[in-house]
């Protein structure tokens, strides 16, 4: 009799399984589809299947657990008196004007340079400068979202996810620039929009960039040579810009958080450990030289140090890495504190100005064998980022002195803008360093005898008179406004924007100019160049400083060096992966 019931039992079991599967299909939530219904297209070479020649025996895990309760970055705007209707209307009109500048630039890029890296804003052509992977398009995705240009975002995102990282006329890519512009752009656009295809494309690119760390000491080279990487023949450089080879932390950490893959965090953690180990072995203890030998990791020979070109984001990322890891990696606080101690002692200076302005700049230092550290009172537009960095570090690590320094650096950059007839700061210039920070009387006779009379008073000579649409000055003003709530920074920003618009606008968009020392904005020589940071950073910061403070709230996001906002860990929550 048992055999008679065996077959019906099996049938009932099959029916039950089918029923369960049907319920699962119908009622269990499905993987999220993109809001706009597009899917990413896989590149023709899959770097996730790449076989490492120098594999890691044990990966350093991403910090996990409950993030610390970190101090608030943003000013408590809710405690302020509500702005008047007139003030709100004024801010809205300014946002609109900034947005119009972006739309003009974007529309010309679409018409004349779609899928190229950059638009030439005078001649109206497209050119490739970063692999031909549509740098302006990818770099601008989050700006499109932030400015609520959602139809344009949809169009751009649908194009971005078709990029083929193996399709390029170049034999290599700049690891740093590809990381901050392309990877950062995709991750930020995903964090804002939650479009799954953007994350998939970011993972694909992250796997390619991860291959750059497959060297014998796991230190990345300046360029990722595709053929050498596939052959396992890459090697770190011996004289690489320090920022370029140490500034992938935010992007790789965010990628690790979103995917749960420790390999991305392990890659950049090893670089940070080298910085930690060598911080006090250089000729200027606390800082690292502008150029690094990543092959033998001996940084004791180089003598030049700066926060400017080639080194900037190395230091910028320390407080930002502490924030994005939820304060669970204390190494970044130590790296920040010790490096900024050296900056304050050796690089920070007050310039001599006709009105005795209480402002600061960060110069460069050369350490000579005879005299030790020698300050070069050089100002750089790139160095203006330091206002935002000191502000973030001062807030995050409760160092009130750093907040004061931050404001003085931001105001120094605004002073440099206002000093020139067309209202724009040059790329690089020399100033006169005061003997102390407390007082600095103007010496007319000294300036007359040593300064370049073609320049405004206070400037010694010009190093690079151009302006290439850089964002660093407005970046620091934005951070100072969000941290202090002082509307004076909004007024400084508006003056900057108007000056930049008048001096750089072309029929199609906006262009770098060769010389800011001309007498009138209409006399500027347009260089036919519009780097992607114009739409990714400069216009974004201008838009945000006039926007309500809850738009890209600094207590919810951390911005990479290309102004791409990444979501921070939630206070008292846990790291989760999607």
CB distance 297 to 219 below 8 Å: yes
CB distance 387 to 479 below 8 Å: yes
CB distance 429 to 379 below 8 Å: yes
CB distance 16 to 10 below 8 Å: no
* CA pair distance 103, 89, nearest whole angstrom: 21
In 96-159, beta strands by DSSP E: 118-120, 125-127
Joined tokens for residue 228: 């050498």
* CA pair distance 469, 409, nearest whole angstrom: 19
In what order do the strands lie in the sheet containing 372-376?
Answer: 304-306, 364-368, 372-376
Strand 372-376 and strand 364-368: the pairing is antiparallel
Please name which of 497, 491, 495 lies closest in space to residue 538, comparing C-alpha atoms. Answer: 497
| CA 234 distance to own-chain centroid | 26
**CB neighbours of 184 closer than 8 A, spacing ≥ 6?**
250, 251, 560, 562, 564, 566
* CA pair distance 341, 298, nearest whole angstrom: 22
**Catalytic residue numbers?**
177, 312, 427, 472
Joined tokens for residue 551: 């738009």
∠308-313-316 over CA atoms, to 5°?
105
Joined tokens for residue 442: 């103007």
∠191-192-193 over CA atoms, to 5°?
100
**CB neighbours of 249 closer than 8 A, spacing ≥ 6?**
268, 271, 272, 317, 320, 321
3-state class of 211 per DSSP? helix
Specify the DSSP element, H or E, that contains 248. none
Specify the DSSP element, H or E, that contains 40. none
Q: What is the torsional sign of CA 233, 234, 235, 238? A: positive
**CB neighbours of 411 closer than 8 A, spacing ≥ 6?**
357, 358, 359, 492
Strand 291-292 and strand 240-241: the pairing is antiparallel
Please name which of 477, 520, 530 lies closest in space to residue 499, comparing C-alpha atoms. Answer: 520
CB distance 549 to 479 below 8 Å: no
Return the bridge partners of 364, or none.
Answer: 306, 376
3-state class of 386 per DSSP? helix
Number of Cα atoms under 13 Å in the Cβ half of residue 508: 22
3-state class of 102 per DSSP? helix
Name the CA radius of gyration of the chain, rounded: 26
């Amino acid at each position: 009799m048992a055999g008679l019931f065996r077959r019906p039992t099996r049938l009932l079991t099959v029916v039950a399984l089918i029923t369960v599967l049907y319920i699962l299909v119908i009622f269990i939530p499905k993987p999220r589809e993109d809001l706009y219904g597009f899917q990413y297209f896989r590149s023709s070479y899959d770097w996730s299947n790449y076989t490492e020649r120098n594999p890691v025996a044990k990966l350093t895990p991403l910090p996990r657990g409950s993030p610390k309760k970190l101090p608030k970055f943003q000013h408590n705007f809710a405690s302020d008196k509500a702005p008047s209707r007139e003030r709100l209307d004024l801010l809205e009109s300014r946002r609109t004007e900034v947005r119009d500048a972006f739309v003009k630039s974007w529309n010309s890029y679409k018409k004349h340079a779609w899928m190229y890296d950059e638009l030439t804003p005078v001649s109206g052509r497209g050119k490739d400068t970063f692999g031909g992977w549509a740098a302006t398009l990818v770099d601008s995705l989050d700006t499109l979202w932030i400015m609520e240009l959602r139809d344009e975002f949809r169009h751009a995102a649908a194009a971005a996810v078709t990029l083929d990282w193996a399709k390029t006329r170049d034999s290599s890519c700049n690891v740093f620039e590809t990381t901050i512009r392309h990877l950062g752009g995709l991750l930020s656009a995903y964090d804002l929009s939650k479009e799954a295809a953007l994350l998939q494309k970011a993972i694909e690119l992250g796997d390619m960039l991860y291959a750059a760390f497959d060297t014998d000491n796991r230190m990345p080279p300046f360029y990722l040579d595709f053929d050498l990487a596939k052959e396992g023949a890459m090697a770190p450089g011996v004289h690489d810009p320090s920022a370029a080879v140490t500034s992938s932390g935010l992007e790789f950490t965010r990628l690790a958080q979103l995917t749960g893959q420790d390999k991305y965090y392990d890659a950049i953690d090893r670089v940070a450990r080298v910085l930690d180990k060598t911080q006090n072995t250089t000729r200027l203890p606390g800082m690292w030289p502008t150029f690094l030998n990543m092959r033998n990791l001996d940084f004791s020979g180089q003598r030049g140090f700066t926060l400017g070109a080639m080194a900037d984001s190395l230091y910028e990322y320390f407080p930002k890495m502490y924030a994005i890891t939820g304060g669970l990696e204390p190494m970044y606080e130590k790296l920040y504190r010790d490096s900024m101690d050296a900056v304050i002692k050796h690089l920070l200076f007050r310039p001599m100005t006709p009105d005795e302005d209480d402002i600061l700049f960060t110069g460069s230092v050369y350490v000579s064998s005879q005299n030790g550290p020698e300050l070069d009172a050089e100002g750089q537009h790139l160095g203006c980022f330091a206002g935002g960095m000191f502000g973030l570090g001062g807030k995050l690590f409760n160092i009130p002195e750093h907040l004061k320094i931050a404001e003085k650096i931001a105001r120094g950059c605004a002073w440099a803008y206002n000093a020139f007839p067309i209202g724009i700061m040059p790329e690089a210039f020399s100033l006169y360093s005061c003997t102390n920070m407390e007082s600095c009387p103007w010496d007319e006779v000294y300036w007359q005898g040593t300064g370049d009379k073609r320049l405004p008073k206070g400037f010694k000579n010009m190093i690079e008179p151009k302006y290439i649409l850089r964002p660093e000055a407005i970046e620091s003003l934005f951070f100072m406004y969000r941290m202090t709530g002082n509307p004076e920074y909004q007024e400084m920003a508006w003056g900057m924007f108007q000056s930049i618009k008048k001096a750089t606008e072309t029929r199609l968009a906006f262009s770098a100019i060769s010389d800011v020392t001309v007498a009138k904005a209409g006399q500027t020589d347009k260089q036919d160049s519009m780097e992607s940071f114009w739409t990714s950073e400069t216009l974004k910061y201008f838009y945000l400083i006039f926007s309500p403070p809850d738009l890209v709230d600094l207590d919810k996001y951390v911005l990479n060096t290309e102004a791409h906002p990444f979501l921070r860990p939630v206070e008292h929550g846990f790291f989760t992966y999607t």
